[in-house]
Amino acid sequence: MNRISPTLVKLVSVATLALGSVIVTSAGFAASPSVPSTAEGLQAETAHHATMAADYRARMRTDEKRAIVWFTQANHCEQKAEQLRLASRQADGQSSSQRDAAVL
C-alpha cells in the first residue's frame, strides 16, 4: 500500500500536466489572429514594422556580440514592411477599382 500512493500521486500529476498542456495549446490555436484587410490597416502595420526595423537598427553596434541578432530582426521587419506595403498597394488598387465600378 505504501508503494501505490506515491506512484498514484505521480501518475495523477503527470496526467494533469499533460491535459493542461493540451488545453493551453488548443486555446492558443483557437484564437484567430487579427489580419487587417483594409488599405489603412495595412498601412498602419507597415508603419509599425518600419518603426521596429529602425529601432533594431539603432540598437545594433558592431562591437557587440548580439549585433547579428539586431541585424537579423531589423531585416525581418524590413521584409515584413515591404510585404505589407505591397499588400496595401494592392488593397488600395482594388478599393479604387471598386469605387470606379460603383460610379459607372
Same domain? For 1 and 47 the reply is: no
Same domain? For 84 and 42 the reply is: yes
Same domain? For 18 and 48 the reply is: no
Residues 6+ apart with CB under 8 A from 88: 39, 42, 43, 46
pLDDT at 25: 65
- pLDDT tens by residue, the chain, 104 residues: 567 777 777 777 777 776 676 675 665 555 555 666 677 888 899 999 999 999 999 888 777 788 888 899 999 999 999 999 998 888 887 766 665 565 55
pLDDT at 17: 74
pLDDT at 35: 60
Instruction: Count up the domains in the chain and report the number.
Output: 2
pLDDT at 26: 63
Same domain? For 44 and 92 the reply is: yes
The domain in which residue 25 lies consists of 1-31
Helix (H, G, I), strand (E, B) or coil at 37: coil
Same domain? For 56 and 82 the reply is: yes
